[in-house]
Chain A
């Protein structure tokens, strides 16, 4: 495919995804996941209440530092804590289910077939083992890459600690490189009933043939989330100048934006997958 064709394909995938907005039920998997994230946010906000405090205080200490257990300093660390809890608990444990269900629903919509959340979730649950495993593999790879990147930039290149924003920016672009090979694993599992290794092989191959497209498909919509993430680095200033509640509002907004961006990405990925495989 030449460059113009690739750009056309990229735009086409997003247009397909955006056209899907009129089918409200397609949002349900993302809304369900967003509800879980709201739940996580609430847990964090009320971490200090027993019996939550017994479980959450050690976790907050683990993911952050002792200073985060004070008010209002907790809200300085809250964006990072929310991201950590999301990244270490919600994402690896449950996001695979909603991505799998969403992929099925988008495929149904594009094919003119049924788009029901319940059956999609049920079907995704039936494919839980491969979905969970490939999701875990992707999660693990990203974690290792980011750890190595952090070590390299702080200890070796020594600019990571001096410029957190630059670190986040670089981490964003590098992270997507390692997400891209796994982009089509959910589709391979739920749409073509592939096993773990078959799904990985299929996804790697498809991503390799559509490398730039897939990268941009992830990166461009995610820029909104990157911007939010960078803004939330100023949490201490935001809390000091306004109030801790503003951080909560911003995180709620981030959850909603994440759902919207994931909708766009999954919709676009599914459209591209169907176009290239059918």
Chain B
């Protein structure tokens, strides 16, 4: 069949096509794929070590660093300039991949304890990724945190200031604020305060406000400006300058877009008036205005609860109960606020001396708002009431009920935060009834079952005190205090535990 005979020119045609194809470009998409492939394979392993850092030894860390390093060797920052021939999108993606790889290398240095190498790595990223603010800002932030972590606070402050100066407080556009950057001015000032340097704290709170004010002026009517103004409010709150905080909130309210729900800023303002400025009438005015302006909002349950609490504080208990009742009736879909309203309702009866009604309302919480914080505290509160008023028989009954209630939670939801709290409450119940053996047993169980919980240190302190003061078991007390030193050697509890150990050891024969 003649059409199957191959023309002599056909091979040359193929060669020509091959040459043409090899001279053509793929817009850098092939390179981008290659970089993504290298990154994905290394990063998958890196992420498993981020979840469980115990498996990351020095050798594995070095191998990971080398693996990330290969990406950077293949695609050095110098090859990713605007003149590289890549399209803008591809160039940016490659910068991100290589930049994140370098950040991961720096992080690995840090995990290995090579702080100087980490610092050098971050500095290198900052210098070479000026075209990519998202990478540069992360490196600058990390550098500041490394300085802070290694006790070089003045250098950390300088690094934070450079971050604010050199990088915008948003990601690409003011419509996408960078919350990390915007939180830094307040963070620096608060850290000075935590370190006890109130003079510098004052200076930096003012610097924070100056910076944040510039942001609101430069990018008005944007989410970035709103977040900046919110941070200004926080600076005043941290300094406990309540009138200034209210003024800043008023400016924030002007910036916020009108919605169907009352903004958090209004609630904060009202709380400041009632709790800090002793102006409950102004707080009441804000809440009542909320009821008018946002009649259909689900958040009004909070406003009604707050109004009820204001009346409670003023001693107008019937009026308070009217608002608590409205929360319960009108917002059954909000059990959190409902339970709080119900609890306040019960307290209002107790304050009037009508314990029977109060008890009824407390029991209503346990039956109708299970799982809420209020329901959790009710059994212990009832026990505490009877103990306070010397009603031993009723206290005994409440004690047994509390143990049953909390015991059911421990049995039904083992190894959960609820079970941990329930176990703590069991111990508290025993303590309240001066059943010291049972209290010690309950606390020992808590310590064994939840060794990583935040409750561990208070539990150990209580346990030590019970062994020492109520069970006369100095040896067990010593062991408990020593455990505190082992578990949290730098915590405030460790100092107290150390003093207790010294005291007990001196008293030993």
Q: A residues bordering B, Cβ < 8 Å? A: 47-51, 53-55, 57, 69-72, 74, 125-126, 128-129, 243
Give the residue name and chain of the A residue nearest to B38 (CB). A71
* A243 to B41 alpha-carbon distance, docked (Å): 9
Contacts A125-B4, A129-B1 hold; do A69 and B33 have CB atoms under 8 A apart?
Answer: yes
B260 within 8 A of A: no
Interface membership of B359, Cβ < 8 A: no
Tell me if A50 and B29 are in contact (CB < 8 A). no
Contacts of B219 in A (CB 8 A): none
A-B contact count (CB 8 A): 50
Whether A55 contacts B21 in the complex (CB less than 8 A), given A48-B29, A71-B36, comes out as yes
Which residues of the partner chain A approach B31 to less than 8 Å between Cβ atoms?
48
Residues of the A chain whose Cβ atoms lie less than 8 Å from the Cβ of B4: 125, 128
- Report Cα–Cα, A171/B314, bound state, in Å: 74
At the interface, yes or no: B83 with Cβ under 8 Å from chain A?
no
Q: Which of B22, B25, B26, B33 has the most CB of A within 10 A?
A: B26
Chain A residues closer than 8 Å to B26, beta-carbon distance: 48, 50, 53-54, 57
Q: How far is the CA of A54 from the CA of B26 in the complex (A)?
A: 5
Contact with A along B304-339 (1 / 0, CB 8 A): 000000000000000000000000000000000000
Q: Which of A47, A54, A70, A125 has the most CB of B within 10 A?
A: A54
Number of contacting residues on B, CB 8 A? Answer: 19
**Nearest chain A CB to B140 CB, angstrom units:** 28
Residues of B within 8 A of A126 (CB): 1
Q: Which residue of B lies closest to A54 (CB)?
A: B24
Question: Nearest Cβ distance between residue B43 and chain A, in whole angstroms?
Answer: 11
- Nearest neighbor of A52 in chain B, beta-carbon distance: B30
Which of the listed residues A53, A57, A74, A128 has the most CB atoms from chain B within 10 Å of its own CB? Answer: A53
B278 within 8 A of A: no
Contact A71 B33 (CB under 8 A): yes
In Å, the complex CA distance between A53 and B4 comes to: 30
B470 within 8 A of A: no
**Residue B18, interface by CB 8 Å:** yes
**Can you sample 15 A-B contacts with CB below 8 Å?**
A47-B30, A47-B33, A48-B30, A48-B34, A50-B26, A51-B21, A51-B22, A51-B24, A54-B26, A55-B21, A69-B32, A71-B33, A71-B37, A71-B40, A126-B1
Residues of B within 8 A of A49 (CB): 30
User: Do residues A69 and B29 form an inter-chain contact, with CB atoms below 8 A?
Assistant: yes
* A70 surroundings in chain B (CB, below 8 A): 32-33, 36
Of chain A, the residue at the smallest CB distance from B33 is: A48
CA distance A48 to B27 in the complex (A): 11
CB distance from B15 to the nearest CB of A (A): 13
Chain B residues closer than 8 Å to A128, beta-carbon distance? 1, 4
Query: Taking beta carbons and an 8 Å cutoff, which residues of B are in contact with A?
Result: 1, 4, 18, 21-22, 24-27, 29-34, 36-37, 40, 44
State how many angstroms separate the Cβ of B47 from the closest Cβ of chain A. 13
In the assembled complex, which residues on chain B have CB atoms less than 8 Å from the CB atom of A71?
33, 36-37, 40
Q: How far is the CA of A51 from the CA of B33 in the complex (A)?
A: 14
Chain A residues with Cβ below 8 Å from B33 are: 47-48, 69-71, 74
Which A residues are in CB contact (< 8 Å) with B30?
Answer: 47-50, 53, 57
Knowing A70-B36, A71-B37, A126-B1 touch, does A51 contact B18 (C-beta < 8 A)?
yes
Measured CA separation A70–B96 after assembly (Å): 14
Residues on B with C-beta less than 8 A from A243 are 44
Cα–Cα, bound, A71→B27 (Å):
16
Which chain A residue shows the least CB distance to B19? A51
Q: How far is the CB of B144 from chain A (nearest CB, A)?
A: 33
Residues of B within 8 Å of A53, CB to CB, are 26, 29-30
Query: Complex formed: what's the CA distance from A145 to B55 in Å?
Result: 56
Would you give the shortest CB distance from A54 to chain B, in whole angstroms?
4
Once the chains bind, are A54 and B21 in contact (CB under 8 Å)? yes
Give 17 new A-B contacts, CB below 8 A, not counting A48-B33, A48-B37, A53-B30: A47-B30, A48-B30, A48-B34, A49-B30, A51-B18, A51-B21, A51-B22, A53-B26, A53-B29, A57-B26, A57-B30, A69-B29, A71-B36, A71-B40, A74-B33, A125-B4, A128-B4
**Chain B neighbourhood of A50, CB < 8 A:** 22, 26, 30
List the B side residues contacting A47 at CB < 8 Å: 30, 33
Q: Which of B29, B31, B34 has the most CB of A within 10 A?
A: B29
Q: Chain B residues near A48: list those with CB within 8 A.
A: 26, 29-31, 33-34, 37
Give min CB distance, A72 to chain B, whole Å. Answer: 6
> Which partner residue on chain B sits nearest A50 by CB separation?
B30
The CA-CA distance from A70 to B39 in the complex, in Å, is 12
Chain B: which residue is nearest A73 at the CB level?
A: B36
A244 to chain B, nearest CB (A): 8
In the bound complex, do residue B40 and residue A72 qualify as a contact, i.e. CB atoms below 8 Å apart? yes
Q: Please give, as numbers and ranges, the residues of chain B lying within 8 Å of A74 by CB-CB distance.
A: 33
CB distance from A243 to the nearest CB of B (A): 8
CB closest chain-A residue, reference B35: A71
Tell me the bound Cα distance from A166 to B33 in angstroms: 33
Residues of A within 8 A of B29 (CB): 48, 53, 57, 69
> Which of B1, B30, B32 counts the most chain A CB atoms within 10 A?
B30
Closest to B37 in A: A71
> Considering the chains assembled together, what is the distance between the CA atoms of A48 and B22 in angstroms?
13
Assembled-state Cα–Cα distance A57/B27 (Å): 10
CB-defined contacts of A129 to chain B, threshold 8 Å = 1
Within the complex, what minimum Cβ distance (angstroms) separates A187 from chain B?
Answer: 21
The docked-state distance in angstroms from the alpha carbon of A48 to that of B31 is: 7
> Which 8 residue pairs spanning A and B have beta carbons closest together?
A53-B30, A71-B36, A53-B26, A48-B33, A48-B30, A51-B22, A71-B37, A54-B24
Complex-state Cα separation, A107 to B259, whole angstroms: 79
In the complex, residue of chain B having the shortest beta-carbon distance to the beta carbon of A70: B36
Name the CB-closest residue of A to B39.
Answer: A71
Chain A minimum-CB-distance residue to B27: A57
Nearest-Cβ distance from residue A82 to partner chain B, whole angstroms:
17
A51 and B20 CA atoms in complex are apart in Å by 10
* A54–B36 CB distance below 8 A: no
CB <8 Å contact, A54 and B25:
yes
Chain B residues whose CB sits within 8 angstroms of the CB of A54 once the complex forms = 21-22, 24-26
Query: Which chain B residue lies CB-closest to A125?
Result: B4
Residues of chain B with a CB closer than 8 A to A69's CB:
29, 32-33
Query: For B32, what are the chain A residues with a Cβ–Cβ distance below 8 Å?
Result: 69-70
Task: Report the Cα distance A74→B22, complex, angstroms.
Answer: 23
A218 to chain B, nearest CB (A): 31
Task: Compute how far the CA of A69 lies from the CA of B33 in the bound complex, rounded to whole angstroms.
Answer: 7
Residues of B within 8 A of A55 (CB): 21
Distance, CA A125 to CA B3, complexed state (A) = 12
Q: How long is the Cα–Cα vector from A74 to B27 in the complex, in angstroms?
A: 17
**Docked CA distance A48–B90 (Å):** 14
- Give the docked Cα–Cα distance between A57 and B90 (Å): 14
Output the least CB separation between B29 and chain A (Å).
5
CB distance from B74 to the nearest CB of A (A): 13
Q: How far is A2 from B205 in the complex, measured between Cα atoms in Å?
A: 95
Residues of A within 8 A of B34 (CB): 48
Q: Which residues of A contact B22 (CB under 8 A)?
A: 50-51, 54
